[in-house]
Amino acid sequence: MTNAHANLTTTLAEVSPLLAQPDGSGLFGGAGALILVAIVLAILIGFAVFFVRRYRRCPPNRILVIYGKAGGARTAKCLHGGAGFVMPVFQDYAYLSLEPMTIDIELTSALSKKNIRVAVPSTFTVAISTQPEIMQNAAERLLGLREQEIALQARDIILGQMRLVIATLTIEEINTDRERFLDLVNKNVNFELNKIGLYMINVNVRDITDESGYIEALGKKAAAEAINQAKIDTAQADREGAIGTAAADREREVSVSEQVAQSLMGQKQAERDQRIKVASLEAQGISGEAEAKREQDIAMASQGALAVQGEKEAEAQQRMRVAELEATAVDGENKSKAQIVDSQATLAERQAEARRRGDVALAQASRDVLMAEKEEELARMEKEVIAKEMIERQQVEITADAEAERIRRVAKGEADAVLAKYLAEAEGIQKVLDAKAEGYARLMAACKDRPDLAPSLLIVEKLPELVAEQVKAIQNLKIDKITVWDGGNGSDGNGTGSTGNFLRGLIGSLPPMHELANQAGIDLPEVLGTVRDAEAKAKANAEPAPPKGEGPAGA
């Protein structure tokens, strides 16, 4: 536009002399030249204003999209920053905002790799990208849409990709390796968002939960492991501290014992040197006194010899005195030597005693060191072995208590079940007995005029059971035939045959039944009759027995 304006100005400058000469002899004269110049200037100003209005500048927080005849195969021309000329008629323009959009994703019931459904609420921050290819996608797919519509499209894409990423990971990988999880989310979500011109600026996973409580259980397990590790570290630190303290105490006691032993040895050495010096001085003093006494005796003998009259007597006296003095001197020397020997022996004894005391002190120090090492070893064993054994014993006790509690509860449950069963049975029996008692009371009330009929009716009620028991008693017996004893009269006038006579004869077997009951101590009911006295029974037995006949055999 600047070049065109310059060219137009140059052309106008070249034409102006021809249009208006100073003498007014131009094509249009002076007035016409001014009008023409004004028209040209108006045209130039209009073109300038038009071109200025079609030259669009792009702010840094937007993308200028020039669409229409963009040139080449492109459908639009995207500019970030700078400016561009929008051709009239052939082109138009619009802006895309680069401001970030915050999208809350409430993802629930997403299926993980181990088929555990998790909830991963997240917050995504997305915006239109400024990369050329992605800007072109944004211009093609997002131009003219409102921010809510763009956020809705992005939310659908993010939800799908989040579910896809979670389906490829286990709960442990999602919960522990958050960096890998976010990297996969970033990669997959960005790849899909770029297709519509967006890119993900940030993702914030607010929480990860599951419906079954698996993550909470993992957290409790990790917390328990951390607590156990902390306890182990604390115990190790305590053990190292105890070992260091014991070592320092041992070194201190050893140093103190060594210093005490050296002090005792120095003290005994000084005492020994002092005693030796004193003994030596005493021996020298005794020897000097003996020598002075000997010289004094010699002088006294010499003076005595001079005072004696006669040379021979003096000589004799002198010889005798000299011999005595020599003997005294020898005796004094011997005594001095004996004292020296005694002093040396005493010194040797004291030296031995001092050496013994020093050895005793050293032995005492060594014993104290060994005792300290023993206590340290016992403390270490108590720390490492006994404490471990106590922990294992407590664990065994806890396990045993838990097992005993479980067995006790199971036994209590079984006992309660048995008690409930017995109570139900007792209640049923009680109800049966109450019903029987009520029935017996009604039976006695019905037989109040004939109370002897009540036992008969009860026996009649029990006859099927008695017959069933009798059948059980003989059900395995093989019976070939049945012999019926009757009176030998055949059929009587009433039409009674052998079978009827058999039944009649069965009644005759009641006396033996009563006799058997008497022997067993059982009282039969009155419905079965009573037995006559012994004489009537003997008379009945004395009568001739009816002839025996055989009846038809039955199976």
pLDDT tens track for 23-46: 444 444 567 778 888 888 888 887
Whether 362 is covered by a domain: the verdict is yes
Helix, strand or coil for residue 64?
A: strand
Checking DSSP bridges between strand 91-97 and strand 209-210, what pairing results, if any? unpaired
Last residue of a domain, one of 39, 57, 75: 57
Mean pLDDT to the nearest integer, 443-472: 71
Mean pLDDT of the chain: 75
Kindly give the residue spans of alpha helices, DSSP state H, lying in 142-177.
Answer: 147-167, 171-176
C-alpha 64/C-alpha 77 separation (Å) is 8
C-alpha 361/C-alpha 358 separation (Å) is 5
Q: pLDDT tier at 505 (50, 70, 90 boundaries)?
A: low
Q: pTM here?
A: 0.36
Whether 463 is covered by a domain: the verdict is no
C-alpha 211/C-alpha 117 separation (Å) is 6
Q: Are residues 48 and 172 in the same domain?
A: no
Half-sphere exposure of 461 (CA within 13 A, CB side): 10
How many domains does the structure of the chain reveal? 4
pLDDT for position 391: 81
For 213-250, write each residue's pLDDT tens digit.
777 777 777 777 888 888 788 878 887 887 888 778 87
Q: Are residues 82 and 197 in the same domain?
A: yes
> Which one, of 222, 212, 219, 216, lies nearest residue 115 by Cα?
212
Q: Are residues 197 and 79 in the same domain?
A: yes
Q: Are residues 252 and 197 in the same domain?
A: no
Q: Which of 68-82, 171-185, 315-329, 334-348 has the highest mean pLDDT?
A: 171-185
Last residue of a domain, one of 352, 377, 402: 377
Lowest mean pLDDT: which of 17-31, 97-111, 442-456, 523-537?
17-31
Q: Are residues 331 and 278 in the same domain?
A: yes
Residue 218 burial class via C-beta count within 10 angstroms: exposed 0-12, middle 13-18, buried 19 and up: middle
Name the percent of the chain lying above pLDDT 90.
8
- Residue 94, token pair as written in the block: 């619009």
Q: Are residues 204 and 164 in the same domain?
A: yes
Q: Are residues 154 and 26 in the same domain?
A: no
Domain extent for 264 = 245-377
Whether 467 is covered by a domain: the verdict is no
Residue 166 burial class via C-beta count within 10 angstroms: exposed 0-12, middle 13-18, buried 19 and up: buried
Q: Are residues 69 and 194 in the same domain?
A: yes
Which of the two residues, 448 and 330, has the higher pLDDT score?
Answer: 330
DSSP code of residue 309: S
Q: pLDDT tier at 393 (50, 70, 90 boundaries)?
A: confident
Mean pLDDT to the nearest integer, 317-334: 79
DSSP calls for 173-239? HHHH-HHHHHHHHHHHHHHHHGGGTEEEEEEEE---EETTSHHHHHHHHHHHHHHHHHHHHHHHHHH
C-alpha 92/C-alpha 1 separation (Å) is 19
Q: Which of 45-59, 280-294, 397-411 has the highest mean pLDDT?
A: 397-411
C-alpha 40/C-alpha 90 separation (Å) is 26
pLDDT for position 19: 45
Q: pLDDT tier at 483 (50, 70, 90 boundaries)?
A: low
Residue listed under structure tokens 């006994």: 386
pLDDT for position 473: 64
Res 305 pLDDT > 80: no
C-alpha 441/C-alpha 267 separation (Å) is 119
Q: Are residues 177 and 77 in the same domain?
A: yes
pLDDT for position 144: 84
For 99-108, write each residue's pLDDT tens digit.
899 999 988 8
Whether 168 is covered by a domain: the verdict is yes
pLDDT for position 544: 54
Whether 386 is covered by a domain: the verdict is no
Whether 219 is covered by a domain: the verdict is no
Bridge partners for 120 per DSSP = 107
Whether 268 is covered by a domain: the verdict is yes
What is the CATH classification number for the domain harbouring 163? 3.30.479.30
Bridge partners for 123 per DSSP = 104, 204
- CB of 554 within 8 A of CB of 483? no
Q: Are residues 74 and 196 in the same domain?
A: yes
Q: Are residues 21 and 144 in the same domain?
A: no
Angle at 279 between CA 273 and CA 282, to 5 degrees: 140
C-alpha 445/C-alpha 440 separation (Å) is 8
Q: Are residues 48 and 67 in the same domain?
A: no
Last residue of a domain, one of 164, 190, 212: 212
